[in-house]
Structure 1
């Protein structure tokens, strides 16, 4: 694995499954809490890290939403995103499609404009200073109502041309994709791409619903699709991108050990899998660490890694000419 680590670090790649709120490192949480005079239930960075010993999605979400409370101003969202972009660029990321959860903030009284304008300013700076392009995915919180999702889509209208896609995240079990079919149809009618978390903790049926009812352009996670051979065949035939998150799967006990991770099995079955970090501050690693960890655990080859990176570009929501340019960078690197 020592030989592959430098190769992974320099491998041009896109990250397609990243929750920007989930990149809030404890150090920045403390800094923003002090800046905004927000009380947090932890006395030190070490206490925060100790609290990250969760073992399921809901326990993670509880601390995730508590941490997000320190995000109050446009500058906070800018600083949050820039901190991620700097880490991502160091990991070889040249394009990122970042999810944000406006309802997490607007429900606390934070203006939608402050959230999105802070993110957009960081995106512009990242492209200018780091050469890293990015797109926004507005994610609806599935534990909230369809009505709330429609209200969020309406609030986004002044910036709709700056948003690439809509997504669906938060507590999966008990909140099937069908709950949001109408709001996703409305978003699709506005020209937005569609993605959704499905088949992480939820059953294969949720993946079917995401495909059939939401008409997704890609699937976030999708691990449990492997339980349904007909579904696997369909995903492969349709070239549906899966945004797989190995360290997240380990932390949330989707797999008990990375040696059991199905990533290479997905590739062998013809699935268009990618590697992503999900919520890296909480799950123990940014995207290159996800590549390294799963490569070591599963014995992935250089060709496997190049395939995963290639899938990240062809599965992105970039226009064809940008995809082609990024693939050219990847192929040139792989040929060195």
Structure 2
């Protein structure tokens, strides 16, 4: 439909087009500058002598080596104001990149294990979400994630601690180390979340096998798969994902940084789209992985010449349709997307 838009205009179009972000870990948006500022404010000692030394440490070989430094960075978050400032910094950047809606993951266990209360975490983040809506016009919602390397009992306790703040988050997810922690480990907690009427997502098929995607759908009953790029190893699963219109929140820069793919040119986003999957582009942990949402689009399209303006439209539209926003909001955002692409038509 939009294949006539010249390729040299693609970078401008990718930046300008309205979009949603559905896979962003708010702790993964903590830039070294803010980490140092919060450490100073809270009198927290860091293992790195400077901002530059901390940024230089962002050299990962796999998911676990990333998680080690990720949790160290989160140690500076202690007060409601800290959580507000972190989320506000991300939402300001997102609004500037024409993100109209963000569904933001947060990891309460990372903080409650350090003695930070559930209320401090959720209320601080919600203040930033509400402020962004009022001052920036960006819609945002919170999704509470369970750390899969911890026990299901810990996840159940975390959920119950969050129930008093039920009005502040829309759903739950499952993140952290995938290897050795299959979705079915969390069957009971997801059943409880269904009883509470929460929206359900889970990381699967990033480092874990396609079987994890299937079990996330069948055992946890998730509505959306975070990552999911390894689905291509199972053709029957690919057919099912396409048939059932299960969205995949793909994170290209993250996939390369964590060695899921050797280079961006090897990424399978084009293959996912060609198979009719509801793929979306997201930034995952942008402070650590080399870029926010627009950078993910720009680098992916630069490395995959088969992707054109038609694919860009599909990805952006998928991001709205795969969101948990109201039908009215989705229709309004898609109309803005259509208007933007119309302006780029020759």
TM-score range, shorter chain: over 0.9
Distance in 2 separating the partners of 1:126 and 1:164: 17
Tell me how far apart the structure 1 counterparts of residues 34 and 220 of structure 2 sit (CA, whole Å).
36
Q: Which residue does 1:214 correspond to in 2?
A: 220
- Unaligned stretches of 5+ in structure 1? none
**Structure 1 residue 233: Cα displacement:** 0.2
1:64-97 Cα shifts (integer Å, max 9, x gaps):
0000000010000000000000111111101000
Aligned residue in 2 for 1:280: 286
RMSD, aligned α-carbons:
0.8
Say whether 1:306 aligns with 2:307.
Answer: no
Please state whether the residue corresponding to 2:231 is helix, strand or coil: helix
Residue 37 (1) aligns with residue 43 (2): yes
Q: Residues of 2 paired with 1:301 and 1:272: CA distance? A: 17
Where in structure 2 are there 5+ consecutive unaligned residues? 1-6
Matches within 5 A, 1:1-336: 2-299=8-305, 300-336=307-343
Q: Decide whether the 8 Å contact of 1:9 with 1:90 is kept in 2.
A: no
Cα distance in 2 between the residues matched to 1:297 and 1:89:
25
What CA distance in whole angstroms lies between the structure 1 residues aligned with 2:61 and 2:257? 6
For the residues of structure 1 that align with 2:8 and 2:35, how far apart are their CA atoms?
33
Instruction: Write the deviation string for residues 103-124 of structure 1: whole angstroms up to 9, x where unpaired.
Output: 0000100011111111000001
Give the CA deviation at 1:322: 1.3
CA distance in 2, matches of 1:239, 1:165: 19
Rounded Cα–Cα distance in structure 2 between residues aligned with 1:103 and 1:119 = 15
Q: State the Cα distance separating 1:2 from its structure 2 match.
A: 5.0
> How many residues get paired?
336
Aligned 8 A contact 1:242 1:273 in 2: yes
What corresponds to 2:4 in structure 1? Answer: none
CA distance in 1, matches of 2:295, 2:98: 11
